[in-house]
């Protein structure tokens, strides 16, 4: 019989000085705890062991804070769909960059194969080719029709796997196929918005006993903010760009309008896909250099400089 315990953290625990997160403990953490009450099944957590890895995104409540999605993972699997709801290539690339930053194996699983028509299936194979050519594993399944489920189960054997994606992509349906007794609540996509509606409210780990593995199911993610990456570093987390960065004329090349840029030349030659390059530019635009923000606040406190005046100083 499985017994569930409620646990609380004793005081303030500093897990990793390099991480300033909105959640001090994450699903997947290994902890030391003692029994607080046998009667109420409560524990006190005294220590959190060093994480072998973790996946972080910007906090959905405060973009200046980080949120640890999960820790101690073997792989991170993005469940995506081409429609009902549509997972954009931009979201996929943000997911892949996050995994590259934290040295996590990333896998793409496209669900709802059964609802696609011929030209949409052709588009999937076009996308599949983009990602397989740069080293990512891509799968095409239908949880509803049991297509590709055996392949998916093979991925989970002897692994701790994070499952993530937008609401409505079929994560709960997929987990119900693999662990039938969980009977997770599923919900259809909103006909009005074409977007998924949340069925998972917090990250939760499930044992997959027959596969000797664990699944961490996360709430549907609308946005995936990149953290801990500077503008100059970003291209290094695109595998197809990383191998040719040294051929750029300038070490700090951002691959926008600099002369003798190897990345732009690679895009023109088809070595780097246009879709991935567009994603790179869009992510680049969202990254704020921390030193610039700090300088602004220092100047604001010292001389009362306005943000508009600061932008003029930086860019003019």
Shared-domain flag, residues 105 and 40: no
Segments forming the whole domain that contains residue 19: 6-48
Place of tokens 């349906």: 173
Shared-domain flag, residues 133 and 148: yes
> Among 64-68, 113-117, 266-270, which stretch is predicted with the lowest mean pLDDT?
64-68
Of 190, 217, 244, the position where a domain reaches its end is 217
226: in domain = no
181: in domain = yes
190: in domain = yes
Q: Among residues 166, 169, 178, which one has the least CA distance to residue 215?
A: 178
Q: How far apart are CA 162 and CA 167, in angstroms?
A: 15
162: in domain = yes
Other beta carbons within 10 Å of 226? 20
Shared-domain flag, residues 69 and 183: yes
Question: Quick one: CA dihedral 125, 131, 134, 135, positive or negative?
Answer: negative
Shared-domain flag, residues 42 and 68: no
What six digits make up the tokens of 41? 């099944």
Q: What global pTM score does this model have? A: 0.82
Of 217, 238, 259, the position where a domain reaches its end is 217
Domain count, the chain: 2
Looking at every residue in the chain, the average pLDDT score rounds to 84
Shared-domain flag, residues 73 and 208: yes
The reported pLDDT for the residue numbered 39 is: 87
Q: What is the pLDDT of residues 74-109, one digit of tens each?
A: 999 999 999 999 999 999 999 999 999 999 999 999
Shared-domain flag, residues 32 and 59: no
Confidence of residue 58 (pLDDT cuts 50, 70, 90): confident
Shared-domain flag, residues 43 and 162: no
Beta bridge partners of 55: 70
What six digits make up the tokens of 315? 């860019």
Shared-domain flag, residues 42 and 180: no
Question: Quick one: CA dihedral 153, 101, 17, 19, positive or negative?
Answer: negative
Tell me which of 207 and 300 has the higher pLDDT: 207
Shared-domain flag, residues 108 and 205: yes
Of 199, 217, 235, the position where a domain reaches its end is 217
Residue 250 has pLDDT above 70, yes or no: yes
Shared-domain flag, residues 98 and 190: yes
Shared-domain flag, residues 159 and 119: yes
Q: How far apart are CA 271 and CA 274, in angstroms?
A: 9
79: CATH: 3.40.50.300
Shared-domain flag, residues 173 and 65: yes
């Amino acid at each position: 019989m499985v017994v569930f315990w409620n646990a609380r953290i004793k005081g303030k625990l500093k897990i990793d000085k390099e991480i300033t997160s909105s959640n001090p403990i994450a699903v997947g953490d290994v902890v030391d705890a003692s029994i607080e009450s046998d009667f109420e099944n409560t524990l006190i957590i005294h220590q959190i062991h060093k994480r072998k890895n973790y996946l972080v995104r910007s906090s959905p409540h405060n973009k200046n804070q980080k949120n640890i999605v999960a820790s101690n993972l073997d792989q991170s699997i993005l469940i995506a769909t081409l429609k009902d709801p549509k997972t954009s290539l931009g979201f996929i690339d943000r997911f892949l960059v996050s995994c590259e930053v934290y040295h996590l194996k990333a896998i793409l699983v496209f669900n709802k194969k059964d609802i696609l028509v011929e030209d949409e299936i052709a588009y999937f194979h076009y996308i599949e080719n983009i990602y397989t050519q740069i080293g990512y594993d891509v799968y095409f399944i239908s949880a509803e029709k049991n297509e590709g489920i055996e392949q998916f189960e093979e991925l989970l054997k002897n692994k701790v796997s994070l499952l993530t994606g937008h609401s409505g992509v079929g994560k709960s349906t997929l987990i119900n196929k693999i662990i039938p007794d969980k009977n997770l609540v599923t919900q259809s996509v909103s006909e009005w918005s074409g977007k998924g509606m949340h069925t998972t409210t917090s990250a939760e780990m499930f044992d997959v006993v027959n596969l000797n593995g664990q699944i961490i199911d996360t709430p549907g993610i609308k946005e995936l903010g990149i953290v801990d990456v500077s503008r100059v570093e970003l291209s290094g987390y695109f595998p197809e760009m990383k191998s040719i960065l040294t051929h750029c004329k300038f070490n700090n090349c951002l691959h926008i309008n600099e002369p003798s840029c190897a990345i732009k030349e690679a895009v023109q030659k088809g070595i780097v896909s246009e879709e991935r390059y567009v994603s790179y530019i869009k992510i680049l635009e969202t990254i704020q250099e921390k030193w610039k923000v700090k300088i602004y606040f220092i100047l604001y406190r010292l001389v009362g400089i306005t943000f508009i005046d600061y932008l003029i100083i930086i860019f003019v």
